[in-house]
Structure 1
Amino acid sequence: MKVGKLDTELLQKIVFQHITCRREEVLVRPGVGEDCAVVDFGNDACILSTDPITGTAKEVGRLAVHISCNDVASNGVEPLGLMLTIMAPEGTTAAEIEEIMRQAGKEAAKLNVEIIGGHTEITTAVNRIVVSSTAIGRQVKNKVVSTKGARVADCVLMTKTAGLEGTAIIAHEHENRLKAYMGEEMVEQAKGMMDKISVVPEGVIGGEMGVSSMHDITEGGVLGAVWEMCEASKVGVVLYKERIKIAPETVKICRFFNIDPLRLISSGCMLMTIGWEKVDGLVQSLTEKGIEVSVIGEIIREGRYLVEGNQKIEIMPPESDELYKVV
């Protein structure tokens, strides 16, 4: 199989079909585009999400906090707790483990999230450090936002710039090569994009403003996330390429490695759908908090398309992320 998360067809064939037990307390179960489970706790719902960091050997403690907290935020709720599992290969030093926890503790504190448990182990089962995180949030049950809520005629918005996380990872991993190509200043700016990978602020705002759906943009990039959102909601979409913002640093890096910024991992970017009558209010609320946002398309009944000039290109299901092509 290819490196990266399983494609949709394989996920349904060899994973989902074997999940047969159903509890009445579970409100949202595993599905394409659904990154969180939602469990009924009476008046409130418990929101849970889990993810590993495998695409980079650097900044893993930092990324591990945000990857799961971002998923919880896409349900319109602030995460409150986090559990971390660290699996490290033989030869890993105590200083390396401590650095991961230093990063994780610092980022969790910024989000007002408590690290409430986990597991740390040295093992021959991995050849580099893998960190898996599980985030937990709480929301009033009838206010939970899901990926599958997009409605025909909704406006599609995206925060920040495409390929954000991938740009930062590549800049950290290939710093010296890139400095010779694009200069030290631009490489440092690209590395600094790691500071923008939380979508908790926009997730909370989206929940307050009544978005119909949200999905944080991770593996598969903007196009992958849009396809997943539409698949979960059973709708189509028209995106306009010229409206999707891409930072100059991302453009440069993607040209250097010949990869597509619209299919590059983009934690830090949030997809939102909302009725047109609420768009201005949402944009204003995000802008007032210093969050860049763009209107990039519209939900339609069927068909998933990217419009570029006079071309209308079908958006295909996500495959292995562009990050894995970088060597």
Structure 2
Amino acid sequence: MSVGKLSNADLNHFIIDEIKPQRSDILIRPGVGEDCAAIKFGEYACVVTTDPITGATEELGKLAVHVSVNDIASSGAEPVALLMTLLCPEDTALESIQQIVVDANKAANAMNIEIIGGHTEMTNAVNRIVVSVTAFGSTRAEDIIMTGGAKSGDYLYMTKYAGLEGTAIIAKEKEEILKDYLTKNEIQDAQSFIEQISVLREGEIGKHLKVSAMHDVTEGGVLGAIYEMCEASKVGCKVYNNKFAIHELTQKICEHFNINPLKLISSGSMLMSVDKDVAPAYEQAMIEAEIPYSKIGVLTEEMDRILIFGEEADEEIFDVIEPPVEDELYTVV
């Protein structure tokens, strides 16, 4: 099997199809592309998500916190608390574990989030530290935004740049290799993309404007996220290759390793489905918040999901957007 998440087909067949609904107070259940689960408590809901960090060895605590909090943000909820599990090889220094916790706590506290527990153990089941975070958020039940809420006719937006997280990880993990290709300043700038991986502000804007759907871009990159949003929402799309914002350093690194930046893990970028009537207010809000954004396409009633090359008027050259497979990151690190 490939490294990384299960394919959507395997996820459905071997996992999701085996989980049977039992309770009426579950608002969001497992589904391809859904970032969170949600449980109703009166007029409010507890939104929950969990994620491990397996593709990086640097800044694990910070990265683990932001990846999970991003899922909560994509639901329109306020992140409140975290549980953190650390599985460590037997020879791990206690100081290394402590540093992960220090970094995680600093990142969480900066967002007014508290680490409330977890689990730490040394084990021969892993060959490097694995950090898994479960995050909890709170919102009014009626205000939840689901990945599956996108509608045909909506504009599709992507915030910041494609491949942000993957660029930062590769620049850190493969620094010695990149020294022969990039300048010292370029490598440092690429590594600094890790500072942009939060989508909390995007989530707040989306909640305020009641956008149709949000989905943070993780494994499988922005094309994977587009497929997952369309699949969850039962819609198709037309997106344009020349509309995606890709940072110059991401482009250079991807060209060097012969990988596709649109299929590279990209925490820090949020995919947002926005009603055409809401789009002007959305764009103004993003400008005022100084968050870069790209209008990359439109959702369609027809179920075809296509990536068009060239201008909007020329739709003859295109690729079909397939379900995400192994992330490009795993071919490099």
1:59 Cα deviation after fit? 1.2
The 5-angstrom pairing of residues 1-327 of structure 1 reads 1-302=1-302, 303-309=304-310, 310=314, 311-327=317-333
- Residue 307 of structure 1 aligns to which amino acid in structure 2? I
Question: Secondary structure at the residue paired with 1:15?
Answer: helix
- Residue 304 of structure 1 aligns to which amino acid in structure 2? R
* 4+ long deviations beyond 2 Å: none
Distance in 2 between the 1:191 and 1:291 partners?
Answer: 19
1:21 Cα deviation after fit? 4.7
1:20 Cα deviation after fit? 2.2
* Structure 2 residues not aligned, in runs of 5+: none
Root-mean-square deviation (Å): 0.9
Summarize deviations over 1:58-117 as a string: whole Å, max 9, x none: 111111001110001000122111110000001100110011011101111121111111
- Residue 318 of structure 1 aligns to which amino acid in structure 2? P
Distance in 2 between the 1:16 and 1:43 partners?
Answer: 27
Distance in 2 between the 1:145 and 1:122 partners?
Answer: 38
Distance in 2 between the 1:62 and 1:190 partners?
Answer: 17
TM-score, structure 2 normalization: 0.97
- Residue 100 of structure 2 aligns to which amino acid in structure 1? I
Distance in 1 between the 2:154 and 2:16 partners?
Answer: 29
Question: Secondary structure at the residue paired with 1:126?
Answer: coil
1:258 Cα deviation after fit? 0.5
Distance in 1 between the 2:84 and 2:178 partners?
Answer: 32
Question: Secondary structure at the residue paired with 1:24?
Answer: coil
- Residue 84 of structure 2 aligns to which amino acid in structure 1? L
* Structure 1 residues not aligned, in runs of 5+: none
Summarize deviations over 1:227-281 as a string: whole Å, max 9, x none: 0000000000011111100001100100111000000000000000111111111
TM-score, structure 1 normalization: 0.98
Summarize deviations over 1:147-204 as a string: whole Å, max 9, x none: 0010010010110000000000000101121122011111111000000000011101
